[in-house]
Amino acid sequence: MNNPTLSRSATRPAGLIDVVVVTAPNCHFCADAKAILAELAQQYRLRTREVDLADPEGTALVRRLRVPFPPIVMIDGTFFGHGRISRRKLEATLARRAHRTADS
């Protein structure tokens, strides 16, 4: 069985939440998303990785998800949102993920 989520979580330290942010230059929504994630990283164990929209990985995500504009935020390999990211929604999602990993 080839499940990329399982193999990724097997190498991730317990309680750590993987976040990928696909960004573009001069994107104010991207800057806002990164600022929100930086603040929330003080409360949650986040491993955040930024991918440029022009990189092959960023381009592939845009095509696959059919997202019209950045940023794209992925949490533990799952699409969270794009564009103007809601801090409230992001915080609620991270709290649920953190609670799930704490129970594991």
HEC letters along 83-99: CCCCHHHHHHHHHHHHH
Digit-coded pLDDT (tens) for 2-42: 333 333 444 556 679 999 999 999 999 999 999 999 999 99
Q: Is the peptide bond before 70 cis (omega within 30 degrees of 0)?
A: no
Among 16-20, 38-42, 93-97, 99-103, whose mean pLDDT is lowest?
Answer: 99-103
Number of domains in the chain: 1
Please report, for the domain that includes residue 37, its CATH number.
Answer: 3.40.30.10
The residue among 56, 66, 61 whose CA lies nearest residue 21 is 61
The separation between the first and the last C-alpha atoms of the chain, rounded to the nearest angstrom, is 22
| 9 within domain boundaries | no
| 92 within domain boundaries | yes
| 11 within domain boundaries | no
| 42 within domain boundaries | yes
Domain span including residue 95: 17-103
pTM over 0.95: no
